[in-house]
Amino acid sequence: MTRIFSGVKPTGHLTLGNYLGAMRRWAETDQHRADALFCVVDLHALTVDRDPARVRRLSRQAATLLLAVGLDPERCTLFAQSHVDEHTRLAYLMECTASDGEMRRMIQYKEKAAREQARGGSVRLSLLTYPALMAADVLAYGTDEVPVGEDQAQHMELARDLAVRFNQRYGMTFVVPRATLPAVAARVMDLQEPTSKMGKSHVRTAGIVYLLDEPEAVRKKVSRAVTDAGRDVVYDRAERPGVANLLDVLAACTGGDPEALAGDYASYGALKKDTAEAVVELLRPVRERHAELAADPGYVDAVLRSGAERARGMARPRVDAAYQAVGLMPAG
C-alpha cells in the first residue's frame, strides 16, 4: 500500500494556503487511499526564537485543526514530531549525507536567514540544517508520496537526492519519495502582496486568511485584496497576479478551472464577492468542528499519544537499519 507522509509547522495560525495547498487533500483523498501519516512538525518551529508558551499553544491548535479539517485517527496516523525520537536520530545521518553547499542553496534558508540578519538577529544553525530534518521526517517511514504545496518542492528534491545518495553509499535503505502538488492553488499568494506566498508567520496579516478567521474578517480581507491595473477579468499569473490568485482560490473552493472561471466575471468586485463567499463556506465547517474539538483537549492528547506510538513502531526498524548501514554498532 502507498505510504504517505506530510506535516505542518506550528509557526503561526494555519492559513487558507496550508489548507488548499496541502491539508484539504490529506483529509479528502490521501487518508482514504493510502497508509498515511500526518505530523505537527513542532521541532521545525524552533529554527527561530519563539516564545515557548506560543509554540505549545500553536502546536495544540495545529493538531486540533488537523482533526477539524477531517483527518480521522481511525484512518491515518496523526502525531507530533517531537514525540517520536526517530526523526532527530535520522536527521543526524541526513546531515552526514548532505553537503554544506546544497543546504545553503535552499531558497527558504536564503530568504529567512536574510530576514533574521536584517532584524539584527543571529541565524540559528537549525535554520540551515532544517531540510535534513525534513528529509528524515519523510524517509523514516518509507514514504512514497508527500502531498505538499509548491513552496516545499525544493526541500523535497533534496530529500530525494539524500535518499538516493544514502542508498548508493550504504545499500538500499530508503524509498525515494516524490512530492505531489494540488492541481490548483499549489501556491496561494498573499492578498495584499500577490507576488509573495501567503505565509502563516508573516508579520503583516491583512493579506492572510487564517482558517479560524470569522466570516466578516474573511470578507474584509478578500474585498481589500490588491488587484491589478486593468478592469477585465483574465487569468494571467505573470501579468495579473492579484486577479489570478483570486481565481485560483475561487477555483480551488468550488472545484472549477481558474481560466474558465475568468470568463464568468465582468468586474473585479463581483469576483471578490464570490471568492469571499466561497472561502467563508469552505471554512465554516472547519471552524465549527475546531470549536467542538478545542473544548475537549483530552481527546486531542489521546489521539496524539496513540499516533506517536504507532509512528514510532513504523519508523524504528528503518532508522535502526540506517544506523547499522553506516557502520554504527547495534545497541542490543
Measured in degrees and rounded to the nearest 5, phi and psi for residue 304 equal -65, -35
Q: How far apart are CA 263 and CA 241, in angstroms?
A: 17
The nearest distance, CB 18 to ligand TYM, in angstroms, is 4
**Are residues 112 and 48 in contact, defined by beta-carbon separation less than 8 angstroms?**
yes
Q: Which is nearer to ligand TYM, 248 or 274 (CB)?
A: 248
Residue number with the smallest Cβ distance to ligand TYM? 21
The nearest distance, CB 232 to ligand TYM, in angstroms, is 26
Cα dihedral 287/293/294/297 (nearest 10): -160
- Element containing residue 251 per DSSP (H, E): helix 241-254
Interface residue with ligand TYM among 127, 148, 211, 311 (CB under 6 A) is: 148
- Of 9, 200, 221, 272, which one is the catalytic site residue? 200
Interface residue with ligand TYM among 37, 84, 127, 134 (CB under 6 A) is: 134
Q: How far apart are CA 112 and CA 120, in angstroms?
A: 13
Q: Which is nearer to ligand TYM, 138 or 300 (CB)?
A: 138
- Element containing residue 228 per DSSP (H, E): none
Number of residues located near ligand TYM, criterion CB under 6 A: 26
Active site residue 9: no
Which residue shows C-alpha cell 537499519? 321
30 touches ligand TYM (CB under 6 A): no
Q: Which is nearer to ligand TYM, 126 or 324 (CB)?
A: 126
Of residues 56-115, those binding ligand TYM (CB under 6 A) = none
Binding piece for ligand TYM, criterion CB under 6 A, among 70-78, 168-176, 182-190, 212-220: 182-190
129 touches ligand TYM (CB under 6 A): no
Q: Which is nearer to ligand TYM, 128 or 186 (CB)?
A: 186
The nearest distance, CB 152 to ligand TYM, in angstroms, is 4
DSSP letter for each residue of 61-102:
HHHHHHHHTT--TTTEEEEEGGG-THHHHHHHHHHTTS-HHH
* Half-sphere exposure of residue 243: CA atoms within 13 angstroms, side-chain side: 23
In the structure grid, which three cell numbers stand for residue 174, read together?
Answer: 530508503
Residue 275 corresponds to which amino acid? Answer: T
Active site residue 273: no
22 touches ligand TYM (CB under 6 A): yes
Per-residue contact string for residues 183-202; x = within reach of ligand TYM by CB under 6 A? ---xxx--------xx----
Active site residue 220: no
The residues that bridge with 78 in the sheet, in sequence order, are 38
Alpha-carbon distances, residue 207 vs 172, 197, 284 (angstroms): 46, 10, 19
Interface residue with ligand TYM among 61, 82, 97, 152 (CB under 6 A) is: 152
**Are residues 247 and 263 in contact, defined by beta-carbon separation less than 8 angstroms?**
no
Binding piece for ligand TYM, criterion CB under 6 A, among 13-21, 117-125, 242-250, 314-322: 13-21
Q: How far apart are CA 136 and CA 158, in angstroms?
A: 11
- Element containing residue 8 per DSSP (H, E): strand 3-8
Binding piece for ligand TYM, criterion CB under 6 A, among 92-100, 141-149, 210-218, 246-254: 141-149
Q: How far apart are CA 65 and CA 62, in angstroms?
A: 5
173 touches ligand TYM (CB under 6 A): no
| Residue ranges in contact with ligand TYM by CB under 6 A | 5-9, 17-18, 20-22, 41, 44, 134, 137-138, 146, 148-149, 151-152, 155, 186-188, 197-198
Active site residues: 112, 197, 200
